[in-house]
Amino acid sequence: MTRFEANACGGLRIELSGASVVLRGSGALWLESERTLVVADLHFEKGSSYAARHGQMLPPYDTRETLDRLDREITDLTPTCLIFLGDSFHDGDGESRLAADDAERLRGLARGRDLVWAVGNHDEDGPKGLPGQVIDEASILGLVLRHEPQGGLQPGEVAGHLHPAARVSSGRGSVRRRCFVTDGSRLILPAFGAYTGGLNVLDRAFSGLFGGPLLAAALGKQKVHAIGPRSLRPD
């Protein structure tokens, strides 16, 4: 059984395939011993993508809001390495639609630290004009970090792509939150982007990915909440 240990910052520390990691309330993964911060599915420029492709006007501030949240994590943790775990842009033209100040903020992320872009299904080629290393996957602390989870059991895999969310119910109603999901062997990160939705962890897309009891770590306003499998509810 995976054990969650609350830390002073409201996150949860777990042992993932033998590696100690922290699940942050922002939805970021913190590998403290490596000073590495990992975020998945930022989907920069999703708002401008919807406007360009569908004529659907969303407030064009999603990239800025996502960068603001990321900046707060960097200020709190001072990582030496920052890994974007795929689908950093909502589409292949997202980089070209960046506002000048947002592009400069992204360039600033590579100053004084390593910036790593894992490619995803929305951004298969990675950025073209921004600094950083473009990769398919990375290995850290015995963990394999990639965008899309591979089929079957994959001990030590850390992935995004599925945008997990957890629903819990009580006599006072029902609450749905983005979440991490793990069995202590594999971990799926929540989407970090401002305009990203969530897929219920009981959806069949998660079937077969976990060999042990499925546990969720839901993002709350003040802390991350550990949720056992018996408390999870479908949408």
Residue 4 has a pLDDT of: 73
SS3 99: coil
* Whole-number average pLDDT of the chain: 90
- pLDDT over 60 (residue 92): yes
Q: How far apart are CA 126 and CA 224, in angstroms?
A: 31
Residue 170 has a pLDDT of: 76
Q: Please state the rounded mean pLDDT for residues 185-192.
A: 97
Residue 223 has a pLDDT of: 93
Query: Which is higher by pLDDT, 45 or 144?
Result: 144
Q: Please state the rounded mean pLDDT for residues 195-205.
A: 92
- Residue range 112-163, pLDDT digits in tens: 999 999 998 878 888 999 999 999 999 999 999 999 999 889 999 999 999 9
- Residue range 17-42, pLDDT digits in tens: 999 999 999 999 999 999 999 999 99
Tell me the percentage of the chain whose pLDDT exceeds 70: 92
Residue 196 has a pLDDT of: 84
Q: How far apart are CA 216 and CA 187, in angstroms?
A: 10
Residue 123 has a pLDDT of: 81
Q: How far apart are CA 103 and CA 118, in angstroms?
A: 18
Least confident interval from 120-124, 138-142, 190-194, 213-217? 120-124
Taking the whole predicted model, whether its pTM rises above 0.75 is answered as: yes
The 10 Å Cβ neighbour count of residue 127 is 21
| Strands 29-31 vs 36-39: parallel, antiparallel or unpaired | antiparallel
Which of 149, 207, 210, 221 has its CA nearest to residue 178?
A: 221
- pLDDT over 70 (residue 49): no
Query: Which is higher by pLDDT, 170 or 218?
Result: 218
Residue 50 has a pLDDT of: 56
**Eight-state DSSP code of residue 80:** S
The 10 Å Cβ neighbour count of residue 6 is 13
**CA-based diameter of the chain, in Å?**
52
Sequence spans of domains, the chain? 5-231
Helix-then-strand count for the chain, H and E: 3, 17
Residue 1 has a pLDDT of: 55
Sole residue written with tokens 């850390």: 158
- pLDDT over 80 (residue 54): no
Say if domain 5-231 classifies as CATH 3.40.50: no
Residue 122 has a pLDDT of: 73
Q: Please state the rounded mean pLDDT for residues 39-48.
A: 86
Residue 148 has a pLDDT of: 97
- Asked if 149 and 157 count as a contact pair (C-beta separation under 8 A), the reply is yes
Tokens of 215: 């546990």
Sole residue written with tokens 């599925």: 162
Q: Please state the rounded mean pLDDT for residues 58-73.
A: 86
The 10 Å Cβ neighbour count of residue 198 is 19
